[in-house]
Amino acid sequence: MKKILPFLLMLIIGKTGMSQLNVSFDFSNVEETISFFKKTSPTKEDIDQLIATPGLKAIIKKIRSNDSTAKIVLQKLSQGIKPTGKENDFQYVMIKEHLQELEDFANRIKATKQVILDSINSLSVYLPEGKKIPVKVSFLVGGYSAGFTLSDDNVFYIGMHQYQNDLTGIVNTCQHELFHNIQGLSYDRSAVMKKLQDAKEFPSLYVYYIGLNIFVEGTAEYMADIDKMDLSTPYMKRQAEHANVNKYRMRENFYLVEKILMDAYTNNEKIDADLSYNILFDWNWNNPGYQVGKLMAKALAKANGQMIMKKYLSSDPMIFIQDYIKLAKTNKADHPYNFSEEFEQMIDTVVSKLNAISLR
């Protein structure tokens, strides 16, 4: 069968010194997609081959679409017809208009790959002892996400077209997403959720689900701290604007987190878990759950030393929340944001439930 591209998959391998990380960069989706849209009259075979590629499969999964919709979008664009509705989630209209710019940006990333490797090398200290992991950074053009992971702990994806040619933004997202890969190595949180579900501990399950995301997103934000980066670049400037919104409304953010988790616990039969998640962890809401978790991580690291994060990576995320509550109670002047006593009791109850099912 004829291949989409006349060249091989390009992998740039970078070993981070004596660290336990082996990082590679995969630009195949970028190259395949740009090559496709440069064709004046793509064939049905061209469309089918692009849809079959791993990169486009990842985009389809992330945006919760399917092969049929992807085919319709590519057919429409090949015929000069604009996509409609959910078809626009692929963002191919914008991508098609900026092919040369995206190609140049990809070449710039390849030429400065060591900058990314240097920025993530320090995260190797959070790996389990003796653990060596290969990590592939897969660059994509398509979809609405700037960075994400799927089920494979050894791959994370960067939506390159979202960055406005901002290499600093790429570095920041690589730090964030790589830490997500590390988070899954020492503690199986999905197994805990399954145990709660099997035990029909649904109030604790919903609290755990949201609390888990506060931990994983908050600690990843802390490790990829934008406050330590150049915020004058286009993508990072936009990130800073969202973060600043949360800084001045942090008290309201803590209140929001408490009310959503308490509602999840007391009204678990009626709660819409996806809606609750979206309010706390969606860009349209300025990601308040990310910033609450980051503040908690920053406070705990300042009080206990940076390597306390390694302890939390091998612990249940409820312990992270529990420890922050205790810390904030000891010095309200330094830690003005905290939860109510009722909330603390709920978290203690959930931890007790977790301890009980772990003994079964």
Tell me the pLDDT tens digit for each residue of 231-282: 999 999 998 998 889 889 999 999 999 999 999 999 988 888 889 999 999 8
For the segment 74-92, the average pLDDT, to the nearest whole number, is: 96
pLDDT band at 351 (very low <50, low <70, confident <90, very high): very high
> What's the pLDDT score for residue 360?
55
Closest C-alpha among 313, 308, 314, 337 to residue 325: 337
Q: pLDDT: is 247 or 56 the higher one?
A: 56
> What's the pLDDT score for residue 153?
67
Q: Are 258 and 244 in contact (CB under 8 A)?
A: no
What is the share, in percent, of the chain residues with pLDDT greater than 70? 94
As a whole number of angstroms, the distance between CA 202 and CA 61 comes to 27
The total of other beta-carbon atoms located within 10 Å of residue 263's CB is 16
Beta bridge partners of 85: none
**Does residue 204 carry a pLDDT above 60?**
yes
Q: For 134-193, what is each residue's pLDDT tens digit?
A: 889 999 999 999 999 887 768 999 999 999 999 999 999 999 989 988 888 888 888 999
What is the share, in percent, of the chain residues with pLDDT greater than 90? 72
Domain ranges of the chain: 11-183, 189-358
**Long-range contact list for 276-284, CB < 8 A, 24+ apart?**
276/206, 276/210, 277/209, 277/210, 277/213, 280/210, 280/213, 280/214, 280/256, 281/213, 281/217, 283/242
**Does residue 18 carry a pLDDT above 70?**
no
For the segment 76-93, the average pLDDT, to the nearest whole number, is: 96
Residue 185 is which amino acid? L
As a whole number of angstroms, the distance between CA 186 and CA 315 comes to 8
As a whole number of angstroms, the distance between CA 27 and CA 44 comes to 23
**Does residue 336 carry a pLDDT above 80?**
yes
Beta-strand pair 147-149/133-140: unpaired
**Does residue 16 carry a pLDDT above 60?**
no
> What's the pLDDT score for residue 232?
93
> What's the pLDDT score for residue 225?
94
pLDDT band at 346 (very low <50, low <70, confident <90, very high): very high
